[in-house]
Amino acid sequence: MYKIADDLVQLGIERIKEFPVEGFVRGSGPLHPALMLVGEAPGENEVETGIPFTGRAGKELMASLESVGLAREDVYITSAVRSRPYKWGSKKERNGTMTERKYNRAPTKKEIIAHAPILDTEIRDIHPPLIVTLGNIGLQRLVGPKAKVTQLHGVLMETPILMWDEDKQAFTETEEVYHIFPTFHPASVFYNPPVRELKDEDWRKLGELLRING
């Protein structure tokens, strides 16, 4: 198992503490995974279990992995942000009363920058043969804000990736080229059911790719 250094975790907690986020979930998986999955940020469930993708989206993701002959233990799972970004909202209870609760939200650019050194270190240390980005947040973190999953999904990219340069206070491109395979976030099928077919087709193509290169 690969484990990110404790001082880097502390740095991540420190850098993000001014924002409305909670918890910290480490990436998880072996030092030599078949591939690395880069998601968005943990949700309520993950903060509770401390393990990425253990909620409803996780079930969906595990089914996709299984469809290409892989299990959680074979891959390294991480995301752009490692704390849960939340916003307060009200929820109507069955008895009609309103209660305040936290809802998930997408991470902001500042939050992504706060945790950039963590993802950069994971990628440098693990050097995955293939990075599968799940949704726009993971994709844009690595290849830039213009990238759109709807346009790029299901096709292998060979491209430099972005890493955070603390001196320049900017993301800069790596010299090295990485293999990136963009696909949809597993949760997207819950709020946009027609995406399921596209997502499943991406995973079928990914399975082919793994067979060719494996």
Binding site for ligand URA (CB under 6 A): 39-43, 46, 52-53, 57, 79
CB of 212 to ligand URA, least distance (A): 27
Q: Are 102 and 86 in contact (CB under 8 A)?
A: yes
Torsion sign (Cα): 72, 154, 208, 162: negative
Cβ-Cβ contacts under 8 Å for 101 (sequence gap 6 or more): 88, 89, 90, 91
Is 167 exposed, middle or buried, given 0-12, 13-18 or 19+ CB atoms closer than 10 A? exposed
CB of 79 to ligand URA, least distance (A): 4
Strands 131-134 and 98-104: unpaired
Report the C-alpha gap between 8 and 96 in whole angstroms: 45
The CB-nearest residue to ligand URA is 39
Closer residue to ligand URA, CB minimum distance, 90 or 192: 192
CB of 94 to ligand URA, least distance (A): 27
Closer residue to ligand URA, CB minimum distance, 46 or 111: 46
Closer residue to ligand URA, CB minimum distance, 79 or 183: 79
CB of 54 to ligand URA, least distance (A): 7
CB of 211 to ligand URA, least distance (A): 26
Cβ-Cβ contacts under 8 Å for 35 (sequence gap 6 or more): 70, 75, 76, 128, 129, 130, 131, 132, 181, 210
Tokens of 1: 């198992």
Closer residue to ligand URA, CB minimum distance, 104 or 121: 104
Closer residue to ligand URA, CB minimum distance, 20 or 160: 20
